[in-house]
Structure 1
Amino acid sequence: MQGRVLIILAFIIILAAIVVVAVLPTLQQAPGPVRTDQTPGAQQQPAQNLPTPTPMSFVNIVIAVQELPRGFRIPANAVDLRAWPEESAPFNGITNLEDVIGKIARTRIFREQPILTTMITDDFTSLAEIGSDAAAIQPSGLIAVSLPINRLTSVSYAIQDGDRVDVILSMLFVDVDDVFQSITPNFITLFQFSEEGITTSGTLEGRPDSTSLGPAIISPSERQRPRLVTQRTVQDALVLHVGDFPLNGRLLGVPPTPTPVPDDDEDAGRDGTPVPSPTPALPTVVTLSVTPQDAVVLIWALEAKLPITLALRSASDTSRTTTQAVTLDYIMANFDINPPGKRQYAIEPALRSIRQLLQEEELSLTSGGN
């Protein structure tokens, strides 16, 4: 029995040795080159050619290498030629230094600014033809219109040059006779024919009506009450300037007027109280850049003496949206306001008007009234 086991173990060892000798050389062989079989008739895809970038072309134009004030005769060391991308080069730029040297600056020219043909002249008499700074900064296609402002209509004087605003108008409507165009009711004069001619009675104000007591003239107890409506009209108007323009037309690049420094003796009054610094005057007018049609709308509102309020827009908002005109009906419906019912009691003294509480802040919609 023991001999049979030894024979089986020897057989297994010999068989394992044969397997190792046969398999090991195969595992140690280097992998051969991978061969890719191509389908007959298949075409080899050509390599994709990337587009060659078009080289940017430049043109030499004259620029200022120092700041040139208005009326300054330009010397040779104040200008130079500078390569400028042809696509963004100004159409009226100058390419020859000789065309600039010795000329007079018609307007202020800043350092590194391209010099244009409209910026220089040969003689001083042409300096008056430069026009105002307001016209120079006015966007093309827009025109300027000035409007009166106060603290309430200018967002508490927050509006500044370069802001964008919307224009809100308020109007009062009354009923008028379609022929006379006068506020109703009309005056009624009764007359009758007789042998002596036409006999007239006194003039009555009101409208003829039938009542349970018979025909009557219904007259109003007071003047017709106007109906108020408010709506946003002009949108996204550019604020060109707040306040009056300088009389010389120069608005840009003008250094601010220095505040005078008072002497030690003038700094205090006779009683030792410091003298307050003068308060700058508040602006009373604003100039807007609007389309020609919007300009006509604003002028019509001025001629009609309508109250005009400016609403300040966000610096990043240039959208235009539609708004609904606001009337008493709009307020009652959208804010769920119901008129109070009549009662057998009331408070005393009677409050006749809430406007009298805000008399100083009241916006007058008419130049006068009853």
Structure 2
Amino acid sequence: MLSSITLPETQVVVDLFTSKADVVGQYAKYPLAQGILITSAMVTPVAGNVNLGGSTWAAMIPQGMTAIAIPITRLSSAAYAIRDGDFVDILVSLLLVDVDSSYQSILPNYTAIVTGSGYLPEQLPVLTAAIISGGQGSTQGRTELDAALNEPLYLVPSESQRPRMVTQMILKNVQVLHVGAFPLPGEATAQAATGQSDTGATETPQPGQQVAATVVRPDMVTLMVTPQDAVTLKYLLDINASITLTLRNPNDQETNAETEAATLQYLLSQYNIPVPAKLPYAVEPRTDTITPPELPNDIIVVTPK
């Protein structure tokens, strides 16, 4: 609420407003305390041109960079070894499939049988398209000539298309702004009272002091990247790509080393992995999947109360 007071002429400065009409419609550049004398430097006629304090985290971001948060797990964050200010490299894994360029559906397409009911004079032929079985029974295949019978066979896939995986390091030497969620106003005081830090670490209590704090595992990390890299990370998150962070030595600023994308072909050729021959014998029992070992920390034991 605007109000006016009477001042001696000797205390009136040049930029001081002397009429309420000159202040109405202006925007304060920062919060003004009640009873303060308003000068032209305190207000602006343009909405949004306000000198707000902002967060302390924004001032830590270098100019030309931006901060973006991505989700993490224990495995994708170097076993929670990453801390604020660390430098990381970013690995991305994608699954690629072949699609029909027009339908944008995964190949192979489904087929249908087109039959004609006859021709009428001076009219176009009447054709009818019908899917005989639908689903996997209508999957498009290919014709191959059987070498033994010398007869053509129509082959259809026995399963849906298998995606092809590729992994590559897309960003190097990215600095971490913060691990975990940023504290909201009022949370910093609560954490200080319980002796808990932003990343879930618990401070050592003093003699005679009781501290009841729970360790909170971080589920996100905020990185400082270029605006274009932020767009790339956003796209990768939206397509559910697998993102892994690797921890770097802070003194290692080498970013010129190029990496080759890892594919099945790369692994077999680079590490001299042979494709096993088809033998007339095999191990028993059969192994269809590779099951990773269970770690003790992965087993959660619930104790009934």
The TM-score range, normalised by the shorter chain, is 0.5 to 0.7
Quote the residue 2:114 is aligned against. Answer: 191
The question of whether the paired residues in 2 share the 8 Å contact of 1:206 and 1:217 is answered with: no
Moved more, 194-203 or 279-288: 194-203
Equivalent runs, 1:242-261 vs 2, <5 Å:
242-248=179-185, 256-259=192-195
User: Structure 1 residues 277 and 237 mapped into 2: Cα distance closer, same or farther (>3 Å)?
Assistant: same
Could you say what secondary structure the match of 2:172 adopts?
coil
Alignment size in residue pairs: 230
Instruction: For residue 111 of structure 2, give the secondary structure of its aligned residue in structure 1.
Output: strand
Task: Give a deviation string over 1:47-88, Cα, whole Å, max 9, x none.
Answer: xxxxxxxxxxxxxxxxxxxxxxxxxxxxxxxxxxxxxxxxxx
SS of corresponding position for 2:57 = helix
Change (3 A) 1:124 1:318: farther
Structure 1 residues not aligned, in runs of 5+: 1-120, 268-275, 362-370
Residue 278 and residue 190 in structure 1: after superposition, are their counterparts in 2 closer, same or farther (change >3 A)?
same
Residue 358 of structure 1: CA displacement? 4.8
Alpha-carbon distance in structure 2 between the residues aligned to 1:341 and 1:243: 49
How far, CA to CA, are the matches of 1:298 and 1:175 in structure 2? 23
Paired residues of 1:142 and 1:290 also in contact (CA < 8 A) = yes
Q: What residue number does 1:347 align with?
A: 283
Higher relative contact order (CA 8 A, sep 6+): 2
| Closer/same/farther in 2, CA of residues 346 and 334 from structure 1, 3 Å limit | same
Deviation at 1:288, TM superposition (A): 0.3
TM-score by length of 2: 0.66
Instruction: Name the aligned partner's letter for residue 147 of structure 1.
Output: I
Confirm whether residue 295 of structure 1 aligns to residue 218 of structure 2.
no
Structure-1-length-normalised TM-score: 0.55
For 2:112 and 2:228, how far apart are their aligned partners in 1?
46
C-alpha contact (below 8 Å) 1:174/1:227 kept by paired residues: yes
Give deviations 1:298-333, integer Å, cap 9, x for gaps: 111111111110011111112212111010111111
> What is the 5 A alignment of 1:126-145?
129-145=52-68
Contact persistence 1:149–1:284 (CA under 8 A)? yes
- Computed over aligned residues only, the root mean square deviation of the Cα atoms, in angstroms, reads 3.5
Cross-structure match for 1:326: 262
Match of 1:309 in 2: 244
**Would the alpha carbon gap of residues 131 and 278 (structure 1) be closer, same or farther in structure 2, given more than 3 Å must change?**
closer
Identity %: 38
CA contact (8 A) 1:144 1:289 kept: yes
- 1:206 to 2:133 alignment: no
Structure 2 vs 1, CA of residues 297 and 318 (structure 1 numbering), >3 Å: closer, same or farther?
same
2:271 counterpart residue number = 335
Instruction: Report if the CA contact (8 A) 1:167-1:309 is conserved.
Output: yes
Contact (CA 8 Å) 2:91, 2:167: kept in 1 or not? yes
Summarize deviations over 1:176-197 as a string: whole Å, max 9, x none: 1122111111111122213284
CA contact (8 A) 1:208 1:215 kept: no
Q: Is the 8 A contact 1:165 1:313 kept in 2?
A: yes
Post-superposition CA distance 1:242-264 (Å, at most 9, x none): 0111112998x999444497999
User: What is the deviation of 1:224?
Assistant: 1.1
Greater fraction helix: 1
Q: Decide which structure has the larger Cα Rg and report it.
A: 1
Shift of 1:335: 0.8
**Structure 2 residues not aligned, in runs of 5+:** 1-29, 35-41, 43-49, 120-125, 197-204, 297-305
